Amino acid sequence: MKIGILTGGGDCPGLNAVVRGVTKSALQHGWEVIGFRDGYRGLVEKDFIQLHDHDVSGIIIRGGTILGTSNTANPFAYTLEPLGSADKPKDLSKLAFKNFKELELDALVAIGGDGTLTMAQQLYKRGMPVVGVPKTIDNDLSATDVTFGFDSALHVATEAVDRVHTTAESHNRVIIVETMGRYAGWIALRSGIAGGGDIILLPEIPYRAEDIVRAVLDRKRRGKKFSIIVVAEGARPEKGGMTVGKVVKGSPDPLRLGGVSYKIAELLDGKIGLESRVVVLGHVQRGGEPTAFDRWLATGFGVKAAELLAGKKFGQMVSFRDYGFTGVSIAAAVGKLRLVSPSAQEVRTALAVGTSFGNSRIAK
């Protein structure tokens, strides 16, 4: 066989470990492997590199991706110049198929999140043999218990929450730590629990301003003159929408969330008798070396992807379920986001240790 690999969407720790896992496993089968540069751009523009054993040696510890990535190179609505433009997206999927055939490829491995895998599913429906690998720090893909990149991002966020504790306590301040996660609150929830956050605000549990103020004042009355608020970038009030930082034309998900932490600081201003400070973690959560768990998980994903290719089980995505690797349909993975349930055990755990979710209607 001859296979192609691409990494699409936002970068995250563990991408290189997957590329290594797929490549090394494929080479043992005697296959030829090429890597497309910058996600689907490489497939559309026929920009690729040959991957040999020495090309992937030692990359398991590196963050990012040696292939490069793009979250705007959608072959069905291509906006990258010179073949497309943001004002007039073009459907260049036929060109992608043409390149696939000219390169004499037998299959494509698409490594990415919801957007990348949605495109992979579209290509598969039109006849391209595709296998998907789930990647996102947001941990919001259905049909898998966890995605690689999430544990590394969680580690960074938890360390940040740990570090602001001393400053908050020393200065009697409220410090608001804003995490990534888009429409899912997994990073905020677990870093808030692990870091001992006093208030956790999630997209899945709309907050009430009066309940946030009350939670801080209740702590103050108990002699705790500081508070740590961990807020997901997609958090929103009960009667309002998410905070949009900007809109990126041509992206599969054009809304860039961010800035809700400043709104929380504003609603606390003058009402609690304490100063507020904001820490927006942003892309620092995506960078750096992957954790040991993400290296292990990503390697397992890569090897399982090669197994699916060998079995010609196309249209499937590698899934991690009950500490085992399996294959599920890509359609099942991208059909619905995996979100935090307000009644989940993790939420009840946080409530049981006195954490507020900014909404008194969430019962213990």
Q: Which runs of E-coded beta strand occur in the chain?
A: 2-7, 32-36, 48-50, 107-112, 130-134, 173-179, 199-201, 227-232, 244-247, 255-257, 275-280, 316-321, 324-329
Q: In the numeric block, which tokens belong to residue 243?
A: 């905070």
Q: How far is CA 152 from CA 36, 58, 286, in A?
A: 25, 19, 8
Eight-state DSSP code of residue 147:
-
Contact 154, 167 (CB under 8 A): no
Question: Nearest CA to 128 among 344, 1, 315, 307?
Answer: 315
| Catalytic positions, written as ranges | 138
Phi-psi region of 358 (alpha: psi -120 to 50; beta: other; left: phi over 0): left
What is the C-alpha to C-alpha distance for residues 182 and 140, in angstroms, rounded to an integer?
9
Tell me the CA end-to-end span of the chain in Å, nearest whole number. 55
Question: Nearest CA to 138 among 203, 215, 194, 85?
Answer: 203
Residue showing tokens 């260049």: 92
What is the C-alpha to C-alpha distance for residues 31 and 88, in angstroms, rounded to an integer?
39
Residue showing tokens 């939420």: 347
